[in-house]
Structure 1
Amino acid sequence: MDFPFYIFGIHPHLLFEALAYFIGFRVYLYTRNKDKIPVDTALWVVVGAVLGAAIGSKLLYWFEDPFKTIENWNRIIYLMEGKTIVGGLLGGLIGVETAKKLIGWKRSTGDDFVLPLTVGMMIGRMGCFFTGLDDHTYGVETTWITGVDFGDGINRHPTQLYEIVFLGILLLVLYKLKRNSTGWEGLLFQLFMLGYLGFRLMIDFIKPTPHPFWGLNNIQIASLLGIAYYIWLISKKQSEKRRGFHA
């Protein structure tokens, strides 16, 4: 296979990214809890998520190589290229919470995003894989049977495919937990974020990106902060639930 692998003459990154947004949005509209969230509220939440994700994914990307970003601060092409899923997720979270505050909505909306996010991310990672070296999402050199030559004669970890498999397993586990438990609103999304951020913390050790922050890269630092936040949030919710039970 040659990389990038064009499909019907369309660049794979462009094709799969467009499919990820389109299908992910359609899945959200179809599966969201219509009894819990009115249509107008759901659309404002989506707007907040999209804007927050766009800003977050770009900001975190600039911290991949901060010195290079400083050197190219006045180059629009450099500033506009590249983005990160972790930055998009954390930025989207901030965007959603901001939108909810602006419209006065206080109930959790995160659980409705788990399925569309997972589907969209899996589709998007297919585009990353078929793009090959140009996408910079591959892993380091490996002798594993899973190694893929993206065109430079070196077998590398196909970390994009690892992520697709992990997301599929995570989704199955979360929905099994959902059927067998009576958790609070938002728990599914919180566990999704914990699982994915934990995965990114580990998988980025086998990616050939700069690790300028005490042996960690920008994604891993953001993942650690996100993990700490969700551990705190889940612990807080558990304490509130126990107090309510005893009361």
Structure 2
Amino acid sequence: MALQFPQIDPVIFSIGPLSVRWYGVMYLIGFLFAMWMANRQAEKPNSDWTKEQVSDLLFYSMLGVILGGRIGYVLFYQFSYFVENPMYLFRIDQGGMSFHGGALGVVTAIVVFALRSKKSIVSVGDFVVPLVPVGLMAGRIGNFINGELWGRTTDVPWAFVFPTGGPLPRHPSQLYEAFFEGLVLFVMLVLFTKKPRPAGSVAGLFLLGYGVFRFSIEYFREPDAHIGLYGGVISQGQILSLPMVIAGVALMVWAYKTQPVSEQIKSK
């Protein structure tokens, strides 16, 4: 009685050798939303942001997502293969992006931008993180359309039989992630920033929220076949998410204990 995965061509259309894929379009949607939201925030009175600064920050962040995501995937999930085939790092045509690697790339971009623009690193982080969840949601929907990164076998009524996942029904874990790491986390951040908050607390909430959601959903997601579960209990994704939870809690505690009222962010 499981649902059959819809036959969706991952390629929307092709013109000669150029193919436009749903996954790439989802990345574009996430970037366009981030650009729109960032400019909207910058236009608010006393925002302390210019459109030029927003443009630079988004450029640095996109580089961080792409480079960090690819490098992170290779090092976190395909390290042994990379050691044998170093050029695999550049084979982006074979796919493979890691959120945790992309997150480290964005953190690097935030630090570089903050130092160059003489802004507080934590305030830049607070500005960036609300832009992220919609992109995460779009990316996970792209994973679902591609029929990849499916979940573990199950008998729940909404299970899908994925073409590449064998004959057994599986959790649509991509949609779980799209909902919690994308929509729910976005709503949490928007509601949290309705009132003045200490600088660093918004970024802390993002790290905590994503880490908890990702760690929990990993119980429904099929572990990577070549990695499996460490000790038969914990996945690579959960191991990478734990530091985010710890960092998020630490950052929020630090923000509320040390940041003066004059450095609070104000979003309406």
- Counterpart-to-counterpart distance in 1, 2:205 and 2:128: 12
Q: Is the 8 A contact 1:32 1:112 kept in 2?
A: no
Q: Residue in 2 aligned with 1:160? A: 174
Aligned to 2:23: 13
TM-score when scaled to structure 1? 0.82
Q: CA deviation at 1:24?
A: 2.7
Return the match for 1:219 from 208, 212, 237: 237
Rounded to whole Å, the distance in 2 between the matches of 1:58 and 1:89 is 11
Give the number of the structure with larger relative contact order, counting CA–CA contacts within 8 Å between residues 6 or more apart: 1
In the aligned structure 1, how far is the partner of 2:196 from the partner of 2:36? 27
TM-score (norm 2): 0.77
Q: Deviations over 1:164-197 (max 9, x none)?
A: 2213222223333333x43213422320221012
Comparing 118-127 and 108-117, the one that deviates more: 108-117
What's 1:74 paired with? 87
Comparing 122-131 and 5-14, the one that deviates more: 5-14
Q: Name 2:99's counterpart in structure 1.
A: 85
Residues 3 and 132 of structure 1: CA distance in aligned 2, closer, same or farther (over 3 Å): farther
Within the candidate set 102, 116, 132, 2:147 is matched to 132
Contact 1:57 1:88 in 2 (8 A): yes
- Bigger shift: residues 191-200 or 44-53: 44-53
2:54 maps to 1:42: yes
**Higher helix share goes to which structure?**
1
| Correspondence for 1:234 among 243, 249, 252 | 252
Alpha-carbon spacing, 1:79–1:3, altered in 2? closer, same or farther (3 Å): closer
> Are positions 1:2 and 2:14 aligned together?
no
Deviation of 1:85 after TM superposition, in Å, equals 1.9
Report the AA paired with residue 21 of structure 1.
F
**How far apart in 2 are the matches of 1:53 and 1:213?**
27
Identity %: 23
Q: Write out aligned runs for 1:157-196 (5 A).
A: 157-166=171-180, 167-179=182-194, 181-196=195-210
Deviations 1:19-44 (A, max 9, x none): 22233323322334653212333233
In structure 2, C-alpha distance between the alignment counterparts of 1:78 and 1:97, rounded to whole Å: 26
Aligned pairs for 1:46-57 within 5 A = 46-57=58-69
State the shift of 1:161 in Å. Answer: 0.7
Q: What are the within-5 Å matches in structure 2 for residues 76-115 of structure 1?
A: 76-77=90-91, 81-106=95-120, 108-115=123-130
SS in 2 for 1:109: helix
Kept after mapping to 2: 8 A contact 1:141/1:155: yes
SS in 1 for 2:193: helix
Q: How many residues align?
A: 239
Contact map agreement 2:130 2:189 (CA 8 A) in 1? no
Contact 2:200–2:252 (CA<8 Å) still a contact in 1? no
> What's the Cα RMSD here?
2.8
Alpha-carbon separation, structure 1, partners of 2:187 and 2:107: 22
Instruction: Tell me, yes or no, if the aligned pair for 2:223 and 2:229 is still in contact at 8 Å.
Output: no
Structure 2: any 5+ residue segments left out of the alignment? 1-5, 15-19, 263-268
Unaligned runs of 5+ in 1: none
